[in-house]
Chain A
C-alpha cells in the first residue's frame, strides 16, 4: 500500500486568502468574525458571521467560467489552483486519468438557490437562469476543480454536513490506497451566507447571539459559550502518492496517515450524549493509521462553541485517549474563523497539517472562563511552540456524522 502525502495547500478563509496567510493569522489569534455586511440583518436575532471579503474570482479563473459557478465552487477552484501551484503540480496528459478531485460541501450553491428562487417568484419562470442547475449542484465544487485543473479521474463530492471536509480526505486516501489515483485535490468548500440559513440556525438556537462583540462570539470550551458563528470559505490540499511525490522530489508538509467515519444513528442534530459515536471515529482513525494514542500530540477539535458539542467532544476525547487525553494539546480554529460547515473539516485538516509541519499549535481564543465539563488543555489564548509528531482533526455533523483524520510527520 502506497502512502498518501500532502504536497500542496490552498485556502480561502475569513482570515486569509491563502493557506499561509490563514495559518499566520490563526496562530496569531486573529478573529475573522464581524457584523454581517452581505445583507440586511436589522430584523434578525443574529447579525454576525465570519465572511470572506475581497474575494475576486477573476484573480483565479476566467471571469466567464466564474459566472457559471456558485460562490462555493469559485472558492474551491481558487483554493485548488493555489494548492496545485504550491505543490508545483504539473500533470502530463497520460497522468490525468489518475488525477482526481474530492471536494466536499455541506449545501452546494445555497446562496444561488435562494437568489434564483427570488427571481422565479418576482419576475417569473422565463427569467430563471439557464445556469442555475450547474451552479447549484453540490458535485460542482469537485467537477469545477477537475475541469479547471484537467483532472480526469474520479470527481467525488461528499455531503456529510459539518463533517464533509474530513470525508474528502478519507476518500482521497482511499483512492490512493486502492491505486485508483496518484494525485487527489481534496478539501471542502462552503458559501451559504444568506438570510435563510442564518434565520433557521438562529431559530434552532445553534448560533451565538453575542452580536455586540463579534470577535468574542465564537468561544469554544468557554463556560459562557452560546453557539457557533456562521462562516464561509474553502480549503483544498494536494494529496499525492508517495511514489509520485518522491519521484519529483516534492516538498511534503505531512503524511495523511488514515481516518475513520462513523454515524451516531441517534438524532438529527444532537450528538450521542455518551460521546461514543465521536470516540469510535477517533479510535478508528488511529487504527486505520496503525498508530497508538500516545503517538498523537495535538487534536484539532470540532469545537463549535455550542454548549452540547464542546462538552460531548471533551467526553469523547477522554474516552478515546484515556489518560493521554490530558497530555494532548487541543484547539478549535472555529474560535477565530467561525464554522465553515462543509469546509470545516478541511480547515481542521489544514490546521493539523501545518501544526505537524511547523511544530506549532494554534490557540483557542476567547476561552476565558473554564467550564467544568470541558477540562482538557485547549491551548487557550496563545499559540504554543511544541513538537507535533502527529495530529488528528475531528469533525461532527448534523445527522450524527463523525469523522476523524490523522496527519503525521512524513518519515521516508
Chain B
C-alpha cells in the first residue's frame, strides 16, 4: 500500500511533469517544482480526484492559498482524516 506521500508525489509528478526524484516533502511547488498559479489550481483538483475514495472533502480557495509545499498537501489531507 502506497504511503500518503507516495500518492501525493505521483499526482504532483503527473500534473507538473516533474521527475519523481525532485519531489520531497519540503519541495516548494512554485520555487522547486516550477508551478504557476494555474498549475496549483489544477493540482488541487487532481488531489481531490485522487483521494475521493478516502474522504469527502474540497480544497477551497482559502485552503489552496496555504498550500506551498508538498508537505502542506499532506498536512491538509491529514486534517481531513487522510493519513
Contacts and interface: CB of A to CB of B under 8 A. Distances in A.
Interface of A: 62-64, 67-68, 123, 126-127, 129-131
19 contacts: A62-B17, A63-B17, A64-B16, A64-B17, A64-B18, A67-B17, A68-B38, A123-B49, A126-B45, A126-B48, A126-B58, A127-B45, A127-B48, A127-B49, A130-B38, A130-B42, A130-B45, A131-B38, A131-B42
Contacts of B34: 64
Interface residues of B, number: 12
A76 B41 CA distance: 27
Interface string B21-41: 000000000000010001001
Contacts of B18: 64
Contacts of B49: 123, 127
A130 B58 contact: no
A69 B8 CA distance: 24
Contacts of A62: 17
A1 B17 CA distance: 47
Interface of B: 15-18, 34, 38, 41-42, 45, 48-49, 58
A131 B43 CA distance: 11
B65 to A, nearest CB: 15
Going nearest first, the 10 A-B pairs with the smallest beta carbon separation are: A64-B17, A130-B41, A63-B17, A130-B38, A130-B42, A127-B45, A131-B38, A129-B42, A67-B17, A131-B42
A277 to B, nearest CB: 43
Nearest to A129: B42
Say what secondary structure dominates the interface of chain A: helix
A260 to B, nearest CB: 41
A64 B17 CA distance: 5
B34 to A, nearest CB: 8
Nearest to B49: A127
A131 B38 CA distance: 7
B17 A129 contact: no
A127 B45 CA distance: 6
Contacts of B16: 64
Contacts of B15: 67
A126 B49 CA distance: 11
A362 to B, nearest CB: 39
Contacts of A130: 38, 41-42, 45
A404 B58 CA distance: 54
Nearest to B42: A130
A63 B13 CA distance: 11
Nearest to A127: B45
A99 to B, nearest CB: 25
Contacts of A64: 16-18, 34
Given A68-B38, A130-B38, A131-B42, 19 more contacts: A62-B17, A63-B17, A64-B16, A64-B17, A64-B18, A64-B34, A67-B15, A67-B17, A123-B49, A126-B45, A126-B48, A127-B45, A127-B48, A127-B49, A129-B42, A130-B41, A130-B42, A130-B45, A131-B38
B47 to A, nearest CB: 12
Nearest to A66: B17
A68 B41 CA distance: 13
A109 to B, nearest CB: 16
B72 to A, nearest CB: 19
Nearest to A128: B45
A67 to B, nearest CB: 6
Nearest to A62: B17
B31 to A, nearest CB: 16
Nearest to B52: A123
Nearest to B14: A67
A62 B34 CA distance: 13
A64 to B, nearest CB: 4
Contacts of B58: 126
A129 B16 CA distance: 14
A250 to B, nearest CB: 35
A396 B42 CA distance: 40
B51 to A, nearest CB: 13
Nearest to A63: B17
Contacts of A67: 15, 17
A63 B15 CA distance: 10
Most buried by A among B17, B18, B42: B17
Nearest to A68: B38
